[in-house]
Amino acid sequence: MTRPYNFSAGPSTLPESVLNKAAAQMLDYEGTGQSVMEMSHRSEEFKKILNDTEALLREIMNVPDNYNVLFLQGGATTQFSAIPMNLMTGSGKADYVVSGLWSKKATKEAQRYGDIKIVATSEDKNFYYAPKFDKSQFRPDADYFYYCMNETVHGNIIREIPDTGNVPIVCDISSCVLSEPIDVTKFDMVYGGAQKNMAPAGVTFIIYKKGLIKKPMDLIPTMLDYDKQAAAGSMLNTPPCYTIYMCKLVLEWVKKAGGLEAMKIRSETKAKILYNFLDNSEIFTAPVPKEDRSLMNVPFFSTSPELDAEFVKAAREAGFVNLKGHSSTGGMRASLYNGMPIEGVEALVEFMKKFEEEHKKNV
Ligand SMILES: Cc1ncc(COP(=O)(O)O)c(C=O)c1O
């Protein structure tokens, strides 16, 4: 069987060696005679898997001891409500940046719980740039400041970590986690769905400073209460055991490959190959300006929706799958997560060159 190159935005391609290891351990995890899928989450074997996963994540991301690390269910979307329920209990105010579909959804959800101010947005240009912040717009009495570092649908990245004074910073890093080093100490909370760079779907990581939560809202569901989850070691109920195990295998792979500095080089190399081609193409364009471009998610367009559809179809037939853009944007999007080898991007660009040659005469 030949594996296609999978450019899905998530769930996404995983390193082949990780899948092979999971396959080899499927029926017998380290001599236990059991699959990890079958183990009790209270067993010593699984507790070790969970502890090892947390230790690896702390080591790779350089997470200090004064931060809690949680592995929960519910996805990043559940945190859109859990964040205000845990944190918006002082002034009842929070400041949000709306830089794409995901921060827009997070903002909309937070508006159900308190007074939300949008301090910057790039919606005027369909989110195809990273908005700049004006510090004077931040409210010094806000309970927290929220933004999404890498907008998966629109392909922009906010590189500047804002100066918010004493206001805690909460950041969605779903689609850029593990792609390059992130200084966790600059944030009070970072979180995300793991189904892009970290694991299959099913687990959400939450990394937050101990003492951040003063008093959650009275009606917060127990499962969304971060401090209660931390006290229970992410095990208030049955955790997503197998996904956590897969996360451990991915983290082992990242460590062996050289950690986040090595991932950064890989990410930059892959992104450069694709953006260079797009910037010089006669039929394809990348909508995000150079300084705001995501290394992980590359949206692009051809000259018409019809040609976009033809390209996506031809690419799929040639072994490049999941290149169709998000339903809200149209066009195409190539996600270049860690599991995508450099050769995959090189092969895609070769294919695009051929497609361009065949179609530019019709433009
Ligand atoms: C940046 C970002 N935030 C949040 C989400 C929502 O994640 P989930 O599906 O885990 O709720 C996604 C999903 O693609 C995302 O890319």
For atom 10 of ligand 1, the residue with the nearest CA is 75
> Does residue 75's CB lie within 6 angstroms of at least one atom of ligand 1?
yes
Q: Which pLDDT value is given to residue 135?
A: 84
- At residue 237's C-alpha, the angle toward residues 143 and 81, to 5°, is 25
pLDDT at residue 363 is higher than 70:
no
The H or E element containing residue 193 is strand 189-193
2 pLDDT band, cuts 50/70/90, is confident
> Does residue 109's CB lie within 6 angstroms of at least one atom of ligand 1?
no
Q: Which pLDDT value is given to residue 315?
A: 98
Helices (H), the chain: 16-24, 44-61, 75-87, 101-110, 226-231, 241-256, 259-280, 305-317, 342-359
> Does residue 174's CB lie within 6 angstroms of at least one atom of ligand 1?
yes
Question: In what side-by-side order are the strands of the sheet with 67-72?
Answer: 67-72, 204-209, 189-193, 169-172, 144-148, 93-98, 115-121
Please pick, among 95, 102, 248, 308, the residue that the annotation labels catalytic.
102
Q: Which pLDDT value is given to residue 249?
A: 98
Residue 58, helix vs strand vs coil: helix
> 258-362, superfamily in CATH?
Aspartate Aminotransferase, domain 1 (3.90.1150.10)
Stretch 133-148: mean pLDDT: 94
> Does residue 172's CB lie within 6 angstroms of at least one atom of ligand 1?
yes
d(CA 130, CA 288): 9
Tell me the CA–centroid distance for residue 27 and ligand 1, in Å.
Answer: 31
241-266 as b/e, with b when 16 or more CB fall inside 10 Å? Answer: bbbbbbbbbbbbbbeeeebbeebeeb
User: pLDDT tens digits, residue range 20-54?
Assistant: 999 999 999 999 999 999 999 999 999 999 999 99
Please pick, among 95, 143, 172, 188, the residue that the annotation labels catalytic.
172
pLDDT at residue 342 is higher than 80:
yes
d(CA 333, CA 152): 9
pLDDT at residue 362 is higher than 70:
no
Whole-number mean pLDDT of the chain?
Answer: 97
- Contact call for residues 67 and 182 (beta carbons, < 8 A): no
User: pLDDT tens digits, residue range 258-312?
Assistant: 999 999 999 999 999 999 999 999 999 999 999 999 999 999 999 999 999 999 9
pLDDT at residue 180 is higher than 70:
yes
Q: Does domain 16-256 have CATH number 3.40.50.300?
A: no
How is the chain split into domains, by residue range? 16-256, 258-362
Q: Is 134 exposed, middle or buried (0-12, 13-18, 19+ CB in 10 A)?
A: exposed
d(CA 4, CA 72): 31
Tokens of 112: 């159900």
User: pLDDT tens digits, residue range 196-235?
Assistant: 999 999 999 999 999 999 999 999 999 999 999 999 999 9
pTM value is 0.98
